[in-house]
Amino acid sequence: MIERYFDNAATTPVDPRVVEEMLPYFSEAFGNANSIHEPGQRARAAVELARERVAELLGEEDSGWITFTSGATEANNWVLALGTPLVVSPFEHSSVWVTNANFKGEVLENQGYMLQGPRAKASCAAVMHVNNETGAIIDLPPELKVDDSDGGMAFSLLRDLTQSVGKVDLPRMERSYFASLSAHKFYGPKGVGALYSKMCVPATWMHGGEQEDGRRAGTLNVPGIVGMGVAAAIASQEADKNKRFAENLRALVLAELTKISDHKLNSPQNSSPYIVSLSFLGVEGETLAVELDRAGYSISSGAACSSRSTEPSHVLTALGLPIEWLRGTIRISFGKYNTEASAANLANELRKAVEKLRTMK
């Protein structure tokens, strides 16, 4: 049941208003957005409206800097393919991190969630905005706060906004600024996202056609893009209300958890209210997620993309979380279809599951 789904950082359900506006673009207005005939131009107009809606959600006037992609993973991979040397934060999503498993750049030092500046100048720095595992809002070190391509330590800056858009206030976009996002994190469809590149045109990423002004070839996913646009328009209007609701649910769950001994909140004060990371001593996060699933509640034992891996989270490792706490980590992520009652029940079920698993040891 949708109100018992607390894994909204992994993905959100598609808002029915989004589905409704997407539907005609499958079989009725099915034209190729690059065709010159009327069906093609109708599709093109819908894509351009979506582009404007996404720009508005980002608080930007010029939609021309938006290129639609298959999601934030592709947008991140694209920016990283543009140039080295690179500087990355230790908190990045695996689409930045794994791509660079063998990379020669620099990983920024951190103290808790505080990042230090880079040691050397780089052509590109990647520092995400809201961390997907803990919800932490990551501040840029002053050396990376550039408003001019010559003025700072990095030529361009990639900020992964995947967990931020439609949820929390966005950072100010400077020149040579890249941002990545995915529609399915704000009630749009999966497999569609965007790369925003302010005042710079990224080198062509996919070759083969003139789509997206020659920056990314391939026939456009018109229904998906339309869906992303509608989701963006809805998010622009409802973000504040949804955020207050998430704050409320978060407080409710955390209050209940004070009844559980030996637990730790990994999310800092300066966090998105949508994501809570918790560790419990003496239990396995995965087992806890399975117990909760049996009780009808969906949570995650980490980021969805890494929760099947047995490797400890690189994010929590960078934060210095000892292994006995790392093992017992879960992530709860709220969404607009949760209810106060379901959040209270979730916390209650969580308490029961922790107590049960601890007595089984």
Which residues are near ligand PMP by CB under 6 A?
71-73, 93, 95, 128, 132, 160, 162-163, 182, 184, 193, 304-305
CA–CA distances in Å: residue 43 to residues 6, 35, 70, 204: 35, 9, 18, 23
Q: Which is nearer to ligand PMP, 163 or 176 (CB)?
A: 163
Q: At what angle do helices 38-57 and 222-257 cross, to 10 degrees?
A: 30
CA–CA distances in Å: residue 208 to residues 77, 204, 220, 249: 18, 10, 13, 47
Token reading at 318 = 């960078």
124 is catalytic: no
Token reading at 68 = 């639609």
Give 69's strand partners: 193
Min CB(160)–ligand PMP separation in Å: 5
Q: Which is nearer to ligand PMP, 66 or 72 (CB)?
A: 72
3 state SS of 271: strand
**Measured at CB, which residue is nearest to ligand PMP?**
71
Nearest to 329 by CA among 348, 313, 346: 313
Min CB(164)–ligand PMP separation in Å: 9
User: In this structure, are residues 349 and 253 in contact, taking their beta carbons and an 8 Å threshold?
Assistant: no
In angstroms, the CA 276 to CA 265 distance is: 8
Min CB(194)–ligand PMP separation in Å: 11
Min CB(99)–ligand PMP separation in Å: 11
Q: Which is nearer to ligand PMP, 95 or 263 (CB)?
A: 95
| Residue of 19, 305, 318, 357 marked active site | 305
Nearest to 157 by CA among 63, 73, 80: 80
Q: Which is nearer to ligand PMP, 228 or 353 (CB)?
A: 228
Min CB(92)–ligand PMP separation in Å: 8
Give 130's strand partners: 137
CA–CA distances in Å: residue 260 to residues 45, 102, 108, 328, 352: 54, 41, 35, 13, 9
Residue with tokens 């950072």: 171
Q: How many residues does the chain have?
A: 361
Pairing of strands 263-265, 275-280: antiparallel
114 DSSP assignment: E
Min CB(150)–ligand PMP separation in Å: 29
Active site (catalytic) residues: 305
